[in-house]
Amino acid sequence: MKFLEKIISYNKEHVVLSHLLFWGVLLLLSVSENKYYYDHHQLHFSFLFTLADCGLLLVTQIMAAYFLAYLIIPKFFLRRKYPETFIYFFIGSYLICVLARVITIHIAEPMAGQAPKNWETFYEIFTNVPKLVYVYFFRIFSVAFVFLFIKLLADQYKIQKRALSLEKEKAETELKLLKTQLNPHFLFNTLNNIYSLSLSNSPVTSASIGRLSEILDYILYRCNSLYVPLSGEIDLLNNYIGLEKLRYDDRLKVNFNTRIEQDIPIPPLILLSIVENAFKHGASEDIGNPVIDIDLQAGKTAFSFIVANSFNTKPGEELNGKIGLSNLKQQLELIYPERHTLAITQTETFYTVTLLIDVIT
């Protein structure tokens, strides 16, 4: 695959080498075909003469190929200049066939000792259109059209590869932007929590700062790649849950269940967005005994993450402050297109977010 990419790359050296390879292979095939013909008819075969004869024909085939691929098609046909395409193709192909006939009777045949006593005049060459078409046009332009077809395929591949590259760059830029939006949002909420603890002179303030330090260390120094180990994300969630439980004491009940078959790679912070949203809306002061249930399962082919939190908002009422989940949806679309499900359900007492991902290892 890498070899093919080099052949059809934009690198000038690779382009030149690929063209030389194409014409070299064609020349060898032509010589082999001639040798088979001579052997089949029990004729004397001269390698040097055959090589020269095929090489002379190759010159006109190269002219025809580049005439088509680099002039007629891009300059006229692709620009929808169809009358000019027809006119210039007719003139160019006619002159190339004339040149091929001149090379044959004035160079190739004398080399073979087969020169007729009365050579055709230039007028006869120019006016003998049937011979130019049936003897030379198809031999020359059949190769030219094959070359053109390969070039068009290569150009299309380059266009698609560049489009994918631009799309990937765009996705990476969007992901970086989403992370810059998410991290300050998370930090703002956590600092508010610690600030509230400090105002009440809570003895757990220092422990909260310690937890926050571990969280920030993870976010700043271990989340700079597209994927991180799931185990690191679980440690992050445990630190975050511990930080929140310091704030709410025994009033908050958190059930965090994990079943891990494989430590799969996962985009950083996407699970934290869901858990943070659950704490924000499920552990407010106006909920008597808030409950947050977290269930995480990771297998070899599937990953599921379900977070349910109690709340007292009326059914149908819109929950505010969903920056984290909004960013999460965008990240999932970029990283797992058509390979994930993000479902949000709401009852009178519980708000549930379910994330399912098809794992490719």
Report the percent of the chain where pLDDT is more than 90.
Answer: 26
pLDDT at 177 > cutoff 70: no
* Of the listed ranges 15-29, 107-121, 158-172, 210-224, the one predicted with least confidence: 107-121
Total-model pTM: 0.52
Range 244-256 average pLDDT:
81
pLDDT at residue 193, as a whole number: 74
pLDDT band, very low/low/confident/very high, at 11 (cuts 50, 70, 90): low
Q: Which of 3.40.50.300, 3.30.565.10, 3.40.47.10, 3.40.190.10 would CATH assign to domain 202-358?
A: 3.30.565.10
Q: How are the residues of the chain apportioned to helix, strand and coil, as percentages rounded to the nearest 5?
A: 65, 10, 20
- Read off the pLDDT of residues 36-76 as tens digits, 9 standing for 90 and up: 766 665 566 566 667 777 888 899 999 999 999 999 998 99
Q: Is 310 exposed, middle or buried (0-12, 13-18, 19+ CB in 10 A)?
A: buried
Beta bridge partners of 296: 258, 305
The DSSP call for residue 8 is: T
DSSP letter at 250? G
The Cα–Cα gap between 158 and 180 comes to: 33
Token pair of 331, please?
A: 């990240």
Query: Where do the domains of the chain lie?
Result: 2-163, 202-358
C-alpha torsion angle, residues 305, 310, 313, 315 (rounded to 10): 60
Q: What three-state secondary structure class fits 328?
A: helix
Q: Which pLDDT score, from 0 to 100, does residue 92 have?
A: 94
